[in-house]
Amino acid sequence: MKCICQRPPLSTTESTLLDTFPAVREECPAIKELFVPDVNWPKFRAWHLKSDEEAYHKSILLLALELGHLSSVTSSIHRYLLESGKIVSGVRRQYVMDLRENWMSYDDPIERHHKFKIFFGWLVELQCAEWLEGRGQKITALEAFREGPDIEATGEDQVHTAFEVKYIGRTTGDSTLF
């Protein structure tokens, strides 16, 4: 796969991040079609132009770009949910909506945290599928396309296994959250 997100520009310091990200977004269908589509872009950009002094939240995409790990966030999206730069037909509408990175648009930091956990849970699910595939599992079904287990796969031994992925993170009541 060839996409700018696999080798983004290196000028991604905190001060230039919002200058670099739009160019990457325009060329990366994972970002432009799923994570931050045109309808969400103005609000996404506006939110990141101001500082979050209350909870210090930041887009996972911007953070990954800044730290040089953007491909870790986008590769499973490219692998499973996109074809020729477009969302694969059959991806459930709710899945697409939950993969939009708009969790930071909620005013209340606790609500932002809750929405982030939903967003990140879907992303981790796809990353786990990619990880399993890298270890010899053939992915046969994903919840992104139908109701049921998060991931179904068949190993080299032809054993069919269903996986439920649970993202473990900070709880809403965790006093170290802020």
CA distances from 122 to 12, 34, 94, 97, 106 (A): 26, 12, 11, 11, 19
Q: What is the pLDDT of residues 14-36, one digit of tens each?
A: 667 888 899 999 999 999 999 99
Mean pLDDT of the chain: 86
Among 27-36, 41-50, 79-88, whose mean pLDDT is lowest? 41-50
The label of the residue with tokens 């459930």 reads 92
Q: Could you report the per-residue pLDDT of 116-153, keeping only the tens digit for each? A: 888 888 999 999 999 999 999 999 999 999 999 999 99
pTM of the model: 0.85
3-state secondary structure of 75: helix
Element (H, E) at 85: none
Share of the chain above pLDDT 90, in %: 58
Strands in the chain per DSSP E: 82-83, 86-87, 138-142, 151-154, 160-163
Q: In the chain, where are the structural domains located?
A: 4-177
Region of residue 36 (phi > 0: left; psi between -120 and 50: alpha; otherwise: beta): beta
The answer to whether 167 and 117 have CB atoms below 8 angstroms apart is yes
**How many CB atoms lie under 10 A from the CB of residue 133?**
16
